[in-house]
Amino acid sequence: MSETAEHTGHHIDVKEFHPRAQAAIHNPKIRKNFRSAMDGLMSKRKTAFEGWDLETLRDLGANVRLRALANLPDLLEQLEKKLTENGIRVHWAVDGDEACRIVRDICKARDAKTVIKGKSMVSEEMELNHYLEEQGIEALESDLGEYIVQLADETPSHIIMPAIHKNTGEISQLLHDKTGTDLSNDVEYLTASARQQLREKFMNADVGVSGVNFAVAETGTLCLVENEGNGRMTTTVPKCHIAVTGIEKVVPSMEDVSALLALLTRSATGQHITTYFNMISGPRKAEELDGPEEVHLVLVDNGRSSIYQDDELLDTLRCIRCGACMNHCPVYTRVGGHAYGTTYPGPIGKILMPHLIGLDEGRHLPSASSLCGACGEVCPVKIPIPDLLVRLRQESVDGDKLHPAKVRGHGAKRSSMEAMIWKGWAWMHASPGIYRFGTGAASKFRALQPSKAGAWTDYRTAPKLAAKTLHQRMKERGQ
């Protein structure tokens, strides 16, 4: 995996999008793995929504999320109150570092040496594994895809299917090298061997760390969606369970969950529902015989409250992390998840990451799109992703008088040369005489027009200027 090996670990340079995308495009294996996986996911999604009034359902999804966001601070307080009543301890973190420290402190207080993890994109965002290792605490991923990615010392290339960039042969070799599993192309065998290894780890882990799909304020319930059962293991077997989640994940009631769940699994993998829908509302009670003694929830802001300030950008926070936008994205399908170099790849990454890392760091993200609109059309909560991309593009060149830029790191792509050219362009188009003179001159000297225009003409023929301008031809026709 040379093409990704150099971009793994925790220090991916987001700014290097172009060379990585180039490398991925010329890598037939990446192209094939992603193309076939995404084709499969797109058709499964379509089948799963057959018989549904999908537009109305998506409207409901969008409204449920908007309603929750409109009451966000109140809901968070209600959630905290209810969880506390239920015996779950709530912590707040302004950024990923603080969230990491909270997890560490809980671990240290229990003298924990090993942490087993269920899938959590927020913990990826926090780079929790890396942090815990530095603190001398072993953090092991238990979702099979995440486990594979961790063994390879890589990062997930898809938010739902982390190891989608690897094929069976590579995974077998990896398991062989790192865990001594026999080489085999039998997926069942490889899975069974991982099950055995991870069961030992579950039994011995001191703490389980998981993400949260929905946090319900009314009942104080943390909901987790999964197929493997590792999430249930993580939240049940160790004596202490720590859930980490973004502050936007709260919804008022279980009824809201029923709508979002119907959309989430069908949009993500084309499943009507996942194998397990796990609802946790408290630690083990005195009379219970299993379950964790302690349950914690860490509410992570990490840039979300800044997104919340702006009426348009706020829509980003509706996201339920289904991944449908990447599955349908022509760019993602061709370059794969690692090319982006960000925790969240694909369209959602392009609108979310600039807030988390700054628009200077992430300046290539909003432009890594053809604005075809597929993402916006499939998004189960109707996030207008293309509009947000355009907005972020404007911000990256510093907006204009009517729309002053706000996002951290804005203006990073602004070039004074480009600004001057556009100013000149505007001036020329606003002055008829100069416009006619300009276009007339361009037509006259069209022979001098270069046939190469940078990367644009690598795969295209440059358009030739017409011999006569439109104005001239209209004049000749006497109109």
Partner 1 sequence: MSSRETILQRLRNRTGGELTVPECDFSVLVRDNWSTKERIERFEKMIESVHGEVHHCTEDMWMDRLAEVLNTRGARNLLIPQQHEIGRALRDAGRDDLPELLIYDEPIESWQAHLFNEVDASITSTRGGIAETGSLILWPNDDEPRLMSLVPPVHIAVLKASELYTTFHEAMQAQNWAAGMPTNALLISGPSKTADIEQTLAYGVHGPKELIVLMIE
Assess 82 for contact with ligand SF4 (CB under 6 A).
no
Q: Which stretch binds ligand SF4 (CB under 6 A): 202-210, 318-326, 387-395, 416-424?
A: 318-326
Q: How far is the CB of 421 from ligand SF4 (least distance, A)?
A: 34
458, interface contact from ligand SF4, partner 1, none, CB < 5-8 Å by kind: none
Assess 154 for contact with partner 1 (CB under 8 A).
no
Assess 324 for contact with ligand SF4 (CB under 6 A).
yes
Assess 388 for contact with ligand SF4 (CB under 6 A).
no
Assess 380 for contact with ligand SF4 (CB under 6 A).
yes
Among 5, 109, 183, 279, binds partner 1 (CB under 8 A): 279
Cα–Cα dist 232/7, whole Å: 32
Question: Residue 222 has which token pair?
Answer: 């943390």
Provide the CB-side half-sphere exposure for 167 (13 A, CA): 12
Main-chain dihedrals φ then ψ at residue 421, nearest 5 degrees: -60, -45
Q: Which residues pair with 399 in a beta bridge?
A: 404
Assess 56 for contact with partner 1 (CB under 8 A).
yes
Assess 323 for contact with ligand SF4 (CB under 6 A).
yes
Assess 179 for contact with partner 1 (CB under 8 A).
no
Assess 467 for contact with partner 1 (CB under 8 A).
no
Q: Which stretch binds partner 1 (CB under 8 A): 123-131, 217-225, 369-377, 394-402?
A: 217-225
CB nearer ligand SF4, residue 104 or residue 328: 328
3-state secondary structure of 310: coil
Query: Both ends of the chain: CA-CA distance in Å?
Result: 64
Q: How far is the CB of 202 from partner 1 (least distance, A)?
A: 8
Among 161, 205, 348, 357, binds ligand SF4 (CB under 6 A): 348
| CB of 137 closer than 8 Å to CB of 112 | yes
Question: Residue 164 has which token pair?
Answer: 């989608």
Assess 319 for contact with ligand SF4 (CB under 6 A).
yes
**165 Cβ contact partners less than 8 Å away, ≥ 6 residues apart:** 1, 4, 30, 33, 34, 157, 158, 336, 337, 338
Q: How far is the CB of 158 from ligand SF4 (least distance, A)?
A: 11
CB nearer partner 1, residue 221 or residue 396: 221
Q: Which stretch binds ligand SF4 (CB under 6 A): 100-108, 148-156, 194-202, 373-381?
A: 373-381
Assess 225 for contact with ligand SF4 (CB under 6 A).
no
Q: Is the dihedral of CA 44, 46, 52, 58 positive or negative?
A: positive
Which of 314-334 are b and which e, b meaning 16 or more Cβ less than 10 Å from the residue's Cβ?
Answer: bbbbbbbbbbbbbbbbebbbb
CB nearer ligand SF4, residue 107 or residue 322: 322
Q: Which residues pair with 89 in a beta bridge?
A: 296
Q: Which stretch binds ligand SF4 (CB under 6 A): 120-128, 186-194, 296-304, 323-331?
A: 323-331
197, interface contact from partner 1, ligand SF4, none, CB < 5-8 Å by kind: none
SS3 content of the chain, % helix, strand, coil (to 5): 55, 10, 35
Strands 294-300 and 88-93 come out as parallel
CB nearer partner 1, residue 199 or residue 473: 199
| CB of 261 closer than 8 Å to CB of 54 | no
Residue 391 CA to chain centroid, in angstroms? Answer: 18
Assess 270 for contact with partner 1 (CB under 8 A).
no
3-state secondary structure of 132: helix
| CB of 102 closer than 8 Å to CB of 90 | no
Assess 276 for contact with partner 1 (CB under 8 A).
yes
CB nearer ligand SF4, residue 321 or residue 413: 321
Q: How far, CA to CA in Å, does 203 sit from each of 234, 239, 272?
A: 10, 10, 32
Cα–Cα dist 331/329, whole Å: 5
CB nearer ligand SF4, residue 118 or residue 347: 347
Q: Which residues pair with 92 in a beta bridge?
A: 299
CB nearer ligand SF4, residue 93 or residue 378: 378
Among 259, 325, 375, 405, binds partner 1 (CB under 8 A): 259
CA-nearest of 146, 149, 93 to 116 is 146
CB nearer ligand SF4, residue 220 or residue 349: 349
Among 64, 205, 381, 388, binds ligand SF4 (CB under 6 A): 381
Q: How far is the CB of 395 from partner 1 (least distance, A)?
A: 15
380, interface contact from partner 1, ligand SF4, none, CB < 5-8 Å by kind: ligand SF4
**18 Cβ contact partners less than 8 Å away, ≥ 6 residues apart:** 364
Residue 352 CA to chain centroid, in angstroms? Answer: 7
Q: How far is the CB of 50 from partner 1 (least distance, A)?
A: 13
168: number of Cβ within 10 Å = 12
Rule CB under 6 A: which residues touch ligand SF4?
319-325, 347-348, 378-381, 383
